[in-house]
A and B are shown apart, each in its own frame.
Chain A
Amino acid sequence: MQNGSKMIKNKILSILKQIPDPEIPAINIVELGVVREIICNENITQVNITPTYIACPAIDLIGKLIKEKLVKFGYKNINIKMVYYPTWTTDWISEETKLKLKSYGISPPNLINSKNKKIICPKCNSNNTSLKSFFSSTPCKSLHKCNDCIEPFEYFKCI
């Protein structure tokens, strides 16, 4: 029984991995760390999600996308629950996902406690970059400029 429910959860997880983040479509909502837990009862499938930033405008949409996707795969009685704890952190993003962010043109976040505070240009890999604005197109990013290739780029703020 235990193994059975684990299999169901893994199946749901693999379905949710097909949903791209609405604002950064290069990565999916599971690797972003937004999907926290899947709880399967006999009748109800509950997915706990957490926002990256408290006011993340995409979180409601993410809930809707999860519902739509699971309905498409035949699940019924889906419950989306918003949780705030543990607090979302960029440290949950894996190295593999960071590479995806970088090739999409977003400089990936450093680890929070890392001594390396250098921000790398995602286009030419130079670390000779400067901060232009601490706030940018979404709450989770800041705006920078590469002093070598002169391209502007966004950095995923570590939080």
Chain B
Amino acid sequence: MNKELFIFCLRLADNCLILAHRQSELCSKSPFLEEDIAQTNFGLDLLGQAEAIYNFAVEIEGNINTPDDLVYKRNERSFYNFILSEQPNTNFAFVVIRQYFMSVYLKIIYTTLSNIKDSKLSGISLKALKELDYQINHFELWIKRLGLGTKESKEKIQNAINELWIFTGELFERDNLDLNMEKNGYLLNSNLFYKKWINFINDIFNESNLNIPKDAYMVTGSKNGIHSEYMGFILTEMQFLQRTFPDAKW
């Protein structure tokens, strides 16, 4: 169980970390100042969630690694974030849709985790949930503004939805480890999870005149550490300093 809980936590924390990295790339590059502050705040929230969960994970593992080891010393094949999380900030609509899909995903995960017996993990989840609602509200406003805005803004947001849709299949995949986590109450079963997630998406897309793409091919692989071409570039940048000057301290 402990080994499985460790990997389960890594998957969750890796998602938060990589999403936080993508958000941090927007620093000084958002459409306007207030939005810049909002996006970097979300990045900070996600980094905080990642740190808290890595801290929890290394304790379960028996303090073999530090959280920094997990972030800076793992190779691409040992990261388990969804391929969706690493997708680039192609344009602002891509940021909005990627973050919205993932914040709703995280909300469902944390809601389940907030009810488990482990007081540490449920405490982290309760805390994360409070801040996640800010993100969900913020991205819903953007989806509405872009979907109901001009012809061009609608085209752009619909295009981002269409392009990112093929990465959403992974959110509901379950391997043996997940099935065991389900049995122990750490995770909702796939059908129920999907229903909750798609309800959020349906509601806001209906309000915003946007369409959910028809089911098609879904990308998969991250549970086995297989990623898109973007992941290597993220790690190259994120791990550069620790790779060049191992164990350098601030």
Contact = CB atoms under 8 A, between A and B. Distances in A.
Dominant secondary structure at the A interface: loop
A92 interface: no
A120 B131 CA distance: 23
A79 interface: no
A135 interface: yes
A54 B37 contact: no
Nearest to B141: A134
A54 B48 contact: yes
B38 A133 contact: yes
A82 B56 CA distance: 11
Contacts of A54: 45, 48-49, 52, 124, 127-128, 131
Interface string A24-59: 000000000000000000000000000101111100
A87 B123 contact: yes
A73 interface: no
Interface string A133-152: 11110010001000000000
A99 interface: no
Nearest to A57: B44
Interface residues of A, number: 21
A55 B128 CA distance: 10
Contacts of B138: 134
Given A85-B122, A135-B34, A135-B41, A56 B48 contact: yes
Given A54-B124, A54-B131, A55-B44, 16 more contacts: A53-B45, A53-B48, A54-B127, A55-B46, A55-B49, A56-B48, A84-B120, A85-B122, A85-B123, A85-B126, A86-B123, A87-B130, A134-B134, A134-B138, A135-B34, A139-B44
Please provide the 5 A-B residue pairs with the shortest distance between their CB atoms, ordered closest to farther.
A55-B48, A85-B123, A84-B123, A54-B48, A133-B34
16 contacts: A51-B127, A53-B131, A54-B49, A54-B52, A55-B44, A55-B45, A55-B46, A55-B47, A84-B123, A85-B123, A133-B37, A134-B134, A134-B138, A135-B37, A136-B37, A159-B130
